[in-house]
Structure 1
Amino acid sequence: MVRIQGVDKYFGDHQVLHHVDLDVAAAEVVAVVGPSGSGKSTLCRCVNGLERPDRGSVLVDGVTQPAEGRELARFRADTGMVFQSFNLFGHLTVEQNITLAPLRVRGVSRAQARDRAAELLERVGLAAKARAHPAQLSGGQQQRVAIARALAMDPKVLLCDEPTSALDPEMVQEVLDVLAAVAAAGTAMIVVTHEMAFAREVADRVAFMDGGRLLEEASPDAFFTAPRHPRAAEFLSKVLRR
């Protein structure tokens, strides 16, 4: 479903991604883990087209990421994105946040968009909040709305960029539970996360990054019990001790 081939990315003179290769199959969940500043979020943004790779290519369902224009907008519609900081429109209701893109980008009818929003809000446990505004919701509720908004476009892959990092600890699990349900429903996902329990229990594969390089890919069992790369072993010895 996703093929990342030889992706390099620079910010000025600083190279943040070094020839990254990563494939994600249909219905597969890949957790991307590693220390802060390792290029995980940049990789996620390169898949979505929010950042342009300086070298290499990104394909989603066999379609190469276009350079710009309407073709890029159509490509991005197939790659749902859940951000760290929710990015909901504060002046719109929850329902309006979810229906906006399907109405404007997919061209669905208002009735269809509302029905889909109601279905997704039920799915994320927020059916009673359709008329609320984001400021009336907790952080965990806002992130669940953001997940519903991404799913409303029926994306071919869902990209989650550290979706729990801006949440209070007590709100983290409610978001992880929703993501686990999305994964169980068969949506291909790339999840950049610091939540090792989620990576271990929900992901089909773990990809470890450090210094802008993808150093190891393995099943969760193999990665967490016997990491092959010394840097991955060092990382796990620190994060699993907490």
Structure 2
Amino acid sequence: MKYDRETPNQEAIVEFRNVRKRFGGIEVLKDINLSVSRGEVVVIIGPSGAGKSTLCRTINRLEIIDEGSIFVDGKPQPVEGKELYRFRAGVGMVFQSFNLFSHKSILDNVTLAPRKILGQNKAEAQANAYRLLDMVGIRSKADFMPAQLSGGQRQRAAIARALAMDPKVILFDEPTSALDPESTREVLTTMQQLAEQGTTMIVVTHEMSFARSCADRVVFMADGAIVETADPETFFNAPQSERARSFVASVR
């Protein structure tokens, strides 16, 4: 299906239209069409190499698409410069490797962008940071350095950092893949709380329990394409394609 690329869907927070991405001669995203509504939790699953993380990273232009259009909150992605910085301020990102500044305290990690980009003063930024760190359960670690925290605590600090920018949507790129089981439970509990609060989330994950319990919609990808999309109950109990049926059987 082809769309008018100049007229975004005003109901959608994130919208892909006929998006393609290549690495050399390999097409890693094939004609992606996907809309994510305000307050929706969309979980993207599929085998390794399906293009899930690439799709996630195109939303804030960490990966640049070759064809098609991506809109965020009804506006096309800026190409570069100050407009791109402002655009990225509204798109939170939580990486699998945390990406905290190792030489700064957790409090400084959370307050840096609000002060530099949003222009918050120190007192305002710190008050908000303490509130968010309390929400994710690590307020007592505010003055610690990242190396002093467990993996789960560092990832929750990264979530607080993303929330500090009051983003329109938060992207999670396999946020538990580097964590042990206990830390994984901590992070997934935090993410479940965000989902219950109505946070718009796009989550790339291998955690099928999270997909089943928290997703409004499951997007199954394979070989760079969206194979099927459904609510969790429908997808896990009655997948439509042979590729999806094979995947569901393997994760059971």
- The reply to whether TM is greater than 0.5 is yes
From 118, 121, 126, the equivalent of 1:106 is: 118
In the aligned structure 2, how far is the partner of 1:55 from the partner of 1:67? 14
Residue deviations 1:70-106 (CA, integer Å, cap 9, x gap)? 1111111111000000010010000000001111111
**For residue 187 of structure 2, what is the amino acid of its counterpart?**
V
Displacement of 1:109 in angstroms is 1.1
In the aligned structure 2, how far is the partner of 1:46 from the partner of 1:71? 16
**For residue 140 of structure 1, what is the amino acid of its counterpart?**
G
- The answer for the alignment partner of 1:162 in structure 2 is 174
**For residue 239 of structure 1, what is the amino acid of its counterpart?**
V
- The answer for the alignment partner of 1:19 in structure 2 is 31
**For residue 114 of structure 2, what is the amino acid of its counterpart?**
P
**For residue 4 of structure 1, what is the amino acid of its counterpart?**
F
Q: Which runs of 4+ in 1 moved over 3 A?
A: none
In the aligned structure 2, how far is the partner of 1:163 from the partner of 1:46? 17
Identity fraction in percent: 57
143-152 or 63-72: bigger deviation: 63-72
Q: Secondary structure at the match of 1:48?
A: coil
Equivalent pairs, count? 240
Displacement of 1:178 in angstroms is 0.3
- Is the aligned partner of 1:147 residue 2:159? yes
Residue deviations 1:189-210 (CA, integer Å, cap 9, x gap)? 0000000010000000000000
What RMSD, in angstroms, separates the aligned Cα atoms of the two structures? Answer: 0.6
Residue deviations 1:12-68 (CA, integer Å, cap 9, x gap)? 111110011110000000000000110000000001111111111111110111111
Which structure is richer in relative contact order (CA contacts within 8 A, separation 6 or more)? 1
Q: TM-score scaled by structure 2?
A: 0.94
Q: How does 1:171-186 map to 2 (within 5 A)?
A: 171-186=183-198
- Is the aligned partner of 1:71 residue 2:76? no
Displacement of 1:170 in angstroms is 2.0
- Is the aligned partner of 1:59 residue 2:71? yes
- The answer for the alignment partner of 1:45 in structure 2 is 57
From 182, 199, 217, the equivalent of 1:187 is: 199
- The answer for the alignment partner of 1:3 in structure 2 is 15
In the aligned structure 2, how far is the partner of 1:7 from the partner of 1:183? 27
Q: Secondary structure at the match of 2:246?
A: helix
Give structure 2 stretches of 5+ with no counterpart: 1-12
- The answer for the alignment partner of 1:236 in structure 2 is 248
In the aligned structure 2, how far is the partner of 1:196 from the partner of 1:222? 14
In the aligned structure 2, how far is the partner of 1:52 from the partner of 1:90? 28
Q: TM-score scaled by structure 1?
A: 0.98
